Amino acid sequence: MADLNVSLPGLNLKNPIMPASGCFGFGREFSEFYDLNQLGAIVIKAATGEARYGNPTPRVAETPSGMLNAIGLQNPGVDQIIEKELPFLESFDVPIVANVAGSTVEEYVEVTEKISRHPVIQAIELNISCPNVKEGGIQFGTDPKTAAHLTEKVKEVSEKPVYVKLSPNVTDIVEMAKAVADAGADGLSMINTLTGMRFDLHKKRPIIANETGGLSGPAIKPIALRMIYQVRQALDLPIIGMGGITSAEDVVEFLLAGADAVAIGTANFLDPYICPNVIESLPNTLEKYGFSSVQECRLKGE
Amino acid sequence: MADLNVSLPGLNLKNPIMPASGCFGFGREFSEFYDLNQLGAIVIKAATGEARYGNPTPRVAETPSGMLNAIGLQNPGVDQIIEKELPFLESFDVPIVANVAGSTVEEYVEVTEKISRHPVIQAIELNISCPNVKEGGIQFGTDPKTAAHLTEKVKEVSEKPVYVKLSPNVTDIVEMAKAVADAGADGLSMINTLTGMRFDLHKKRPIIANETGGLSGPAIKPIALRMIYQVRQALDLPIIGMGGITSAEDVVEFLLAGADAVAIGTANFLDPYICPNVIESLPNTLEKYGFSSVQECRLKGE
Amino acid sequence: MMKEQWMEVLNNRPIALDTYEMTLHGKLASSMTQPGQFLHLKIGDGFRHVLRRPLSIADVDQEDQTVKIIYKVIGEGTKWLSQAKPGNQIHVLGPRGHGFPVENVADQHIYLIGGGVGVPPLYYLGKQLAENNRVTAVLGFQTKDAVFYEEKFQELGETMILTDDGSYGKRGLVTDVLESKMDLYYSCGPLGMLHAVTRKLNDVKGYVSLEERMGCGIGACFACVCKTTDPNDERGYRKICKDGPVFPAKEVVLWQI
Amino acid sequence: MMKEQWMEVLNNRPIALDTYEMTLHGKLASSMTQPGQFLHLKIGDGFRHVLRRPLSIADVDQEDQTVKIIYKVIGEGTKWLSQAKPGNQIHVLGPRGHGFPVENVADQHIYLIGGGVGVPPLYYLGKQLAENNRVTAVLGFQTKDAVFYEEKFQELGETMILTDDGSYGKRGLVTDVLESKMDLYYSCGPLGMLHAVTRKLNDVKGYVSLEERMGCGIGACFACVCKTTDPNDERGYRKICKDGPVFPAKEVVLWQI
Ligand SMILES: Cc1cc2nc3c(=O)[nH]c(=O)nc-3n(C[C@H](O)[C@H](O)[C@H](O)COP(=O)(O)OP(=O)(O)OC[C@H]3O[C@@H](n4cnc5c(N)ncnc54)[C@H](O)[C@@H]3O)c2cc1C
Ligand SMILES: Cc1cc2nc3c(=O)[nH]c(=O)nc-3n(C[C@H](O)[C@H](O)[C@H](O)COP(=O)(O)OP(=O)(O)OC[C@H]3O[C@@H](n4cnc5c(N)ncnc54)[C@H](O)[C@@H]3O)c2cc1C
Ligand SMILES: Cc1cc2nc3c(=O)[nH]c(=O)nc-3n(C[C@H](O)[C@H](O)[C@H](O)COP(=O)(O)O)c2cc1C
Ligand SMILES: Cc1cc2nc3c(=O)[nH]c(=O)nc-3n(C[C@H](O)[C@H](O)[C@H](O)COP(=O)(O)O)c2cc1C
Ligand code: FES
Ligand code: FES
């Protein structure tokens, strides 16, 4: 059977599949569907310094082969997450990646400092790209200097490797990747959502109360693949790839593009069993295309 | 019946629907399916100074609710287009928009100079955004200064109004729109395709010979709507909207976002009758949502 | 407890203007005991529609292992449902959420207050309540052609129909006829109606069922939250898909933005 | 002349490894007289699959108004086709392109040279040619289980089957058995095979049918071009969907990139 192991900074994965941040909460709900120990890793929902309620509803809308979301980083705050959510995750033998967000460099630093100390957390995913919160998200994710500065500061305090999650809403993704790489990022996570909109024909206004939302799902897969490929040509940094994955074939496509592991977001909503299903079919799919391991497939893309 | 008339610089449209550039050739093939006089306008395939063969094949790939293309501006060159294609279009009572492309400012200027003189051409669509041709396309479409300079030079020679077609592969679409508006653009056309990729799992390489291609179709609709909306908030310039339109409902959505007229590209491939079908159902669809005219719907979005 | 299954369409018929009643058959039906819960339905093949559609359980027959849903054709998802033929399979996740509390409710005079496609869950609820209680249904519809299930509700108790345009029953809004001297009410319908109902029946104990656009439908994505009225509430919000869709009328904020 | 229509699936059955034969019924069939043309099929509902799939006409029965296509399951589109049931409707654009020239071809000894799913159009062609000519079919397949239509070709003339792995017929490539002393050949199959065939039969007049990924399928988008061999050719290219898919072997460049 094809070897699914992947070894990345801080993350020893039994397989390259992890649920993406924001699409899996803190794992509780999905643990009622299947044994979370099957997962390669789990990326938990974004943590901020204080509790946040997020944006007004409606927060989601459907688009062709995709969806928009503008949750607005609703979360109970880093302290509550550490106190109430992480203990539950301790009971699983799965590396946990903490997604860190904030409105200021100080907030990112504070959250990273706190959460990266927790033994269950194996890596930090720095969410510089959430386009929904007006007070800063867009800045961090689209300006290379600001992103580099943030990465540097977070790296200074983080006790775990830091994966910077890139926003696709930029002219030059390679420039962004290089900036955070030079600033010390241990890896990249890409892509976050593309900013989009839908209109309610009856109400004659945007469906999403926040007007714009982040586009995710299969619709964005070709953009994710292109960006990962471009960054892979330019850099050697580990990449956790995501954007529209719904099948083991998609995973192979992301590996060929240059991803080292992948995350599945939106597809969890339509099929709560998508992660274990993809993990189950991955070995056969790899073999079908002539690969004896994830590693071999990943290198083929070079 | 709802009034479909739209009046834009150079373009008196009996309805707001036109086939998009590159998806309709020079009209000949579709004229065998229906009477082209039904169309609001026709945007013809990009013209360059000399004939171009374009990229190697495969040039297209399918993606979820979308497709990639890397045709590479294949066309017989502006002189042949004027000599062999435009006479055919003269026999229809439909405004023709000439899509102009090039690798240098001089080429754009030359092509515009020649084609804008032709009586059948009512407007120029300046294709600053085709991301497939390496020798310049990307530069023009993603750098505001270069785009503004090009617009200025083309405006100097054009005998017809110039609509600048924006690339969505940018961090700040409003900045691009403002730059070309200040440089004298009479209108905007948006959006062109987003750069994407697919991989062939059997061949282990990109499906498109050119590696990357332009993503179009329903998948990009939410991105098109967002960019049109953002530009509409910032500018008063007429906008021809496009990106994934497949129905009269989609047209209403684009009008609400701020488009004045729309173009349909990819959908022509799946349904060659899509343009007349959408035109036919538009009056009822407008009325269903309480509008007595395209104009009224368009203003509702403000 | 977390279940998903293909269910077979037994019947799918128009029962009012743009409104269909679909009967689904499958083992999943046996877990659908609580009125007010919803089914989360997959639309079409593959991932063209990445979001499931929430539809309330309108009736369940445990013996036949069938469940009924009643839905109005709104957009692409419900249009697709309306075209399903007997024998087709539909992928169902459910039953989801927390429904109307019915345990230990006896000897009460109860209002069932529904508006439009908020009516369906009240029928399965009413069937359970009518056994030990007196039930009065107040159902509002836009127009005559939109009315459905009137006779079925009459079998449960007194039933008043109102239409916005007066083309059937009484003209007006449900709140026009509501009286405060009831023991309990259960309501489902548009937010504006729920808001008016809770104000009018301010002194009566009641439950409301809320709607919101959903992402996951299982409590993981925070798409479907609503605010709590109590400023000291530990979380400050509820998830409609998981904590709801039914809430005590006083617990959640019905009018915001 | 430009037609599109819903056609009804009469039959859809596996005839070899991952290979299906589908029989479609509809008025459109009456325009399908030219062998080598293709049908352009819509996949699934709506616009999830924005590109149609080109599939060659394998046989036509004008009396019954039926057309047969033979397809290998490659990806999502052909998988969807393989799941179609009798009674299903499929949206078809066609017949498209220019096929094999057969008019005025008589009293010739002709090769039909096919590889894999390049074989289907040769059958309808062979049926037309066999009336007035001597036909020899040379058909290559990957392996025994992939072989189809052997007996049907035998009815038309001498038929040689080759497999890559020797599991059936002769082991080897079609070019291993081709001889130059023929009057005419028609070939359809993978580009590598076509290239080898045209080189081997350099002195024989021949026609090849090409494949390329298509956008519009009607000549409007320039997705499916190939280069002409003549450097003085006015255009320098041909559109496979419109000028082809069949070309005189010497007219187009078969080996590029
Ligand atoms: C708990 C719950 C129970 C419901 N029960 C019923 C019922 O019994 N009968 C009935 O007719 N309707 C019911 N609805 C509303 C129903 O879910 C929507 O009408 C339906 O999802 C519309 O789908 P569509 O694809 O036709 O519309 P589209 O507008 O194409 O849908 C696009 C997206 O928006 C969502 N959406 C659109 N309108 C609503 C809405 N009002 N509420 C929630 N999501 C929406 C869809 O689910 C989908 O994700 C219920 C909603 C909820 C939350
Ligand atoms: C003129 C012509 C005639 C053909 N006749 C036959 C036939 O009779 N029997 C048969 O089995 N196959 C035939 N093919 C090939 C057939 O079109 C592809 O196998 C089919 O389109 C694959 O679709 P898919 O969705 O299963 O694969 P996917 O890989 O999922 O398709 C994705 C996209 O790529 C295109 N594509 C993939 N492979 C090919 C290919 N080899 N050629 C052209 N487009 C491709 C698809 O059309 C689609 O647009 C023919 C191709 C052409 C151009
Ligand atoms: C509802 C929702 C919430 C999300 N929340 C977060 C988040 O909190 N932090 C983050 O970095 N990304 C978040 N994302 C982005 C996903 O992690 C992922 O990058 C993106 O959705 C692309 O993957 P997909 O197409 O598989 O969903 C969210 C996405 C969705 C759909
Ligand atoms: C095959 C193909 C060729 C195209 N060629 C051109 C072109 O020559 N010039 C241009 O400005 N845009 C070109 N486009 C972009 C379209 O005009 C349009 O902007 C884009 O496809 C989005 O619209 P759609 O989603 O309706 O296709 C092309 C698109 C496709 C799919
Ligand atoms: S829909 Fe995801 S939490 Fe309710
Ligand atoms: S597929 Fe469009 S020109 Fe041939």
* Confidence tier at A301 by pLDDT (50, 70, 90): low
Residue D104: count other Cβ atoms within 10 Å of its Cβ.
6
CATH 3.40.50.80 in chain D, residues? 109-248
Residue B179: count other Cβ atoms within 10 Å of its Cβ.
19
Residue D43: count other Cβ atoms within 10 Å of its Cβ.
21
pLDDT at C48: 96
Which residue of C45, C49, C50, C81 is the best one to mutate when testing the D interface, meaning the one whose CB has the most D CBs within 10 A?
A: C45
Would you say the CB of residue B154 lies under 6 angstroms from ligand 4? no
pLDDT tens profile D155-165: 999 999 999 99
- Answer yes or no: is pLDDT of B230 > 70: yes
Chain B: residue whose CA lies nearest to A285: B201
Among A133-147, B84-98, C14-28, D43-57, the minimum mean pLDDT is found in A133-147
What the block records as the tokens of A183 is: 């600033």
Parallel, antiparallel, or unpaired: how do β-strands B213-216 and C4-16 relate?
A: unpaired
Q: What is the CATH number of the domain that holds A226?
A: 3.20.20.70
Chain Cα centroid distance, residue D88: 24
The residues of A annotated as belonging to the active site are: 130
Residue closest to B26 by CA, chosen among B102, B104, B89:
B89
Which residue of B23, B30, B53, B57 is the best one to mutate when testing the D interface, meaning the one whose CB has the most D CBs within 10 A?
A: B57
- Answer yes or no: is pLDDT of B182 > 80: yes
Chain D: residue whose CA lies nearest to B266: D50
Query: Would you say the C-alpha torsion B275, B277, B279, B284 has a positive or negative sign?
Result: negative
Residue closest to C16 by CA, chosen among C109, C171, C119, C145:
C145
How far apart CA C175 and CA C113 sit, in angstroms, is: 9
Chains in contact with chain A (at least 3 beta-carbon pairs closer than 8 A): B, C, D
- Answer yes or no: is pLDDT of B280 > 60: yes
Q: CB C45 to CB D46 under 8 A? A: no
Q: Please answer whether residues D39 and D93 qualify as being in contact, where contact means their C-beta atoms are separated by less than 8 angstroms.
A: yes
How many helices (DSSP H) and strands (DSSP E) are in chain C? 4, 16
* Confidence tier at A131 by pLDDT (50, 70, 90): very low
pLDDT at C179: 87
Point out which residues pair with C111 in neighbouring strands. Answer: C136, C185
SS3 D161: strand
CA distances from C158 to C16, C126, D245 (A): 21, 11, 72
- Answer yes or no: is pLDDT of B132 > 50: no
Question: Min CA distance, C48 vs chain A (Å)?
Answer: 4
**B146 at A interface, C-beta within 8 A:** no
Q: CB A218 to CB C50 under 8 A? A: yes
Q: Whose CA is nearest to atom 29 of ligand 4?
A: B22
Q: What percent of chain B has pLDDT over 70?
A: 96
Residue closest to C209 by CA, chosen among C170, C248, C161:
C248
What the block records as the tokens of B92 is: 């229809």
D153, containing H or E segment: helix D150-154
pLDDT at C180: 85
Order of strands across the sheet that contains B213-216: B60-63, B66-69, B213-216, B194-196
Point out which residues pair with C140 in neighbouring strands. Answer: C115, C162
What the block records as the tokens of A184 is: 């010390």
A1 domain-assigned: no
Q: CB A212 to CB B226 under 8 A? A: yes
**Higher-scoring residue by pLDDT: C194, B137:** C194
- Answer yes or no: is pLDDT of B175 > 90: yes
| D114-122 average pLDDT score | 95
Is B130 one of the annotated active-site residues of the chain?
A: yes
How far apart CA A259 and CA A242 sit, in angstroms, is: 9
How far apart CA A72 and CA A137 sit, in angstroms, is: 10
- Answer yes or no: is pLDDT of D253 > 50: yes
Parallel, antiparallel, or unpaired: how do β-strands C109-115 and C184-188 relate?
A: parallel
HEC string of A104-155 equals: CHHHHHHHHHHHHCCCCEEEEEEECCCCCCCCCHHHHHHCHHHHHHHHHHHH
**Higher-scoring residue by pLDDT: B88, A298:** B88
Into how many domains does chain B fold? 1
pLDDT at C178: 87
How far apart CA B254 and CA B241 sit, in angstroms, is: 7
Scan for tokens 């120029």, then name that residue.
Answer: B124
| A125-151 average pLDDT score | 76
Please tell me the class of the C4-96 domain.
mainly beta
Point out which residues pair with C208 in neighbouring strands. Answer: C187, C247
- Answer yes or no: is pLDDT of B145 > 80: yes
How far apart CA B12 and CA A204 sit, in angstroms, is: 26
Q: Which atom number of ligand 4 is nearest to the Cα of residue D222? A: 1
| B171-190 average pLDDT score | 97
Domain with A254 in it: 6-300
| A65-92 average pLDDT score | 95
pLDDT at D106: 87
Chains in contact with chain C (at least 3 beta-carbon pairs closer than 8 A): A, B, D
Instruction: Report how far ligand 3's centroid is from the alpha carbon of D106 (Å).
Output: 66
How far apart CA D146 and CA D14 sit, in angstroms, is: 11
Pocket residues: Cβ below 6 A from ligand 6: D 214-217, 219-224, 239, 241
* Nearest-ligand number for the alpha carbon of C216: 5
How confident is the prediction for chain C on average, in pLDDT?
93
What the block records as the tokens of A288 is: 């079908």
How far apart CA B141 and CA A229 sit, in angstroms, is: 21
CATH 2.40.30.10 in chain D, residues? 4-96
Point out which residues pair with A200 in neighbouring strands. Answer: A205
- Answer yes or no: is pLDDT of B135 > 50: no
Q: Please answer whether residues B268 and B69 qualify as being in contact, where contact means their C-beta atoms are separated by less than 8 angstroms.
A: no
**B226 at A interface, C-beta within 8 A:** yes
Would you say the CB of residue C220 lies under 6 angstroms from ligand 5? yes
Q: How many CA atoms lie within 13 A of B232 on its CB side?
A: 24
Instruction: Report how far ligand 5's centroid is from the alpha carbon of A214 (Å).
Output: 16
- Answer yes or no: is pLDDT of C100 > 50: yes
Helix axes B221-234, B173-182, angle to 10 degrees: 50
- Answer yes or no: is pLDDT of B131 > 70: no
B1 domain-assigned: no
Residue closest to D196 by CA, chosen among D154, D138, D150:
D138
| B23-45 average pLDDT score | 97
pLDDT at A137: 47
Instruction: Report how far ligand 5's centroid is from the alpha carbon of C214 (Å).
Output: 5
Q: CB A171 to CB B64 under 8 A? A: no
pLDDT tens profile D121-140: 999 999 999 999 999 999 99
- Answer yes or no: is pLDDT of A156 > 90: yes
How confident is the prediction for chain A on average, in pLDDT?
94
Chain Cα centroid distance, residue A295: 21
- Terminal alpha carbon distance of chain A: 23
What the block records as the tokens of C85 is: 């033929």
Would you say the CB of residue A55 lies under 6 angstroms from ligand 3? no
Q: Which atom number of ligand 3 is nearest to the Cα of residue A73? A: 8
Would you say the CB of residue C221 lies under 6 angstroms from ligand 5? yes
Instruction: Report how far ligand 1's centroid is from the alpha carbon of D185 (Å).
Output: 61
Residue closest to A241 by CA, chosen among A148, A142, A297, A165:
A165
CA distances from B265 to B20, B271, C46, C191 (A): 5, 11, 24, 40
The string of DSSP codes covering A214-282 is EEESGGGHHHHHHHHHHHHHH--S-EEEESS--SHHHHHHHHHHT-SEEEE-THHHH-TTHHHHHHHHH
SS3 C53: strand
Which residues of chain B does A257 touch, with a Cβ-Cβ cutoff of 8 Å? Answer: 197, 199
Would you say the CB of residue B46 lies under 6 angstroms from ligand 4? yes
Point out which residues pair with B165 in neighbouring strands. Answer: B127, B189
| C163-185 average pLDDT score | 91
Q: Per residue in A120-139, is it b (16+ CB within 10 Å) or e — as a string?
A: bbbbbbbbbbbbbbeebbbe
Order of strands across the sheet that contains A187-190: A17-19, A261-264, A239-242, A187-190, A162-165, A121-127, A96-100, A42-43
Instruction: Report how far ligand 4's centroid is from the alpha carbon of B290 (Å).
Output: 31
**Among the residues of D18-107, which ranges form H helices?**
76-82
Region label for B128, one of left (φ > 0), alpha (ψ between -120 and 50) or beta (otherwise): alpha
Q: Per residue in A204-224, is it b (16+ CB within 10 Å) or e — as a string?
A: eebbbbbbbbbbbbbbbbbbb
Which residues of chain C does D44 touch, with a Cβ-Cβ cutoff of 8 Å? Answer: 45
Scan for tokens 């599945």, then name that residue.
Answer: A264
Q: Which atom number of ligand 6 is nearest to the Cα of residue D239? A: 4
Q: Per residue in B41-72, is it b (16+ CB within 10 Å) or e — as a string?
A: bbbbbbbbbeebebbebbbbbbbbbbbbbbbb
Q: Please answer whether residues D96 and D49 qualify as being in contact, where contact means their C-beta atoms are separated by less than 8 angstroms.
A: no
pLDDT at B130: 53
Q: Please answer whether residues B176 and B166 qualify as being in contact, where contact means their C-beta atoms are separated by less than 8 angstroms.
A: yes
pLDDT at D3: 67
Q: Please answer whether residues B299 and B255 qualify as being in contact, where contact means their C-beta atoms are separated by less than 8 angstroms.
A: no
Would you say the CB of residue B246 lies under 6 angstroms from ligand 4? no
Residues of A numbered 65-104 whose beta carbons fall under 8 angstroms of chain B's beta carbons: which are they? 65-66, 68
Q: Which of D52, D242, D243, D247 to mutate to test the pocket of ligand 6 (most atoms within 8 A of CB)?
A: D242
- Answer yes or no: is pLDDT of A33 > 50: yes
How far apart CA A29 and CA A89 sit, in angstroms, is: 12
| C107-133 average pLDDT score | 94
Which residues of chain C does A52 touch, with a Cβ-Cβ cutoff of 8 Å? Answer: none
Would you state the CATH architecture of domain D109-248? 3-Layer(aba) Sandwich (3.40)
Would you say the CB of residue C9 lies under 6 angstroms from ligand 5? no
How far apart CA D181 and CA D200 sit, in angstroms, is: 11
Question: Min CA distance, B1 vs chain A (Å)?
Answer: 19
Which residues of chain A does B169 touch, with a Cβ-Cβ cutoff of 8 Å? Answer: 171
Q: Please answer whether residues A54 and A91 qualify as being in contact, where contact means their C-beta atoms are separated by less than 8 angstroms.
A: no
Parallel, antiparallel, or unpaired: how do β-strands D38-41 and D53-56 relate?
A: antiparallel
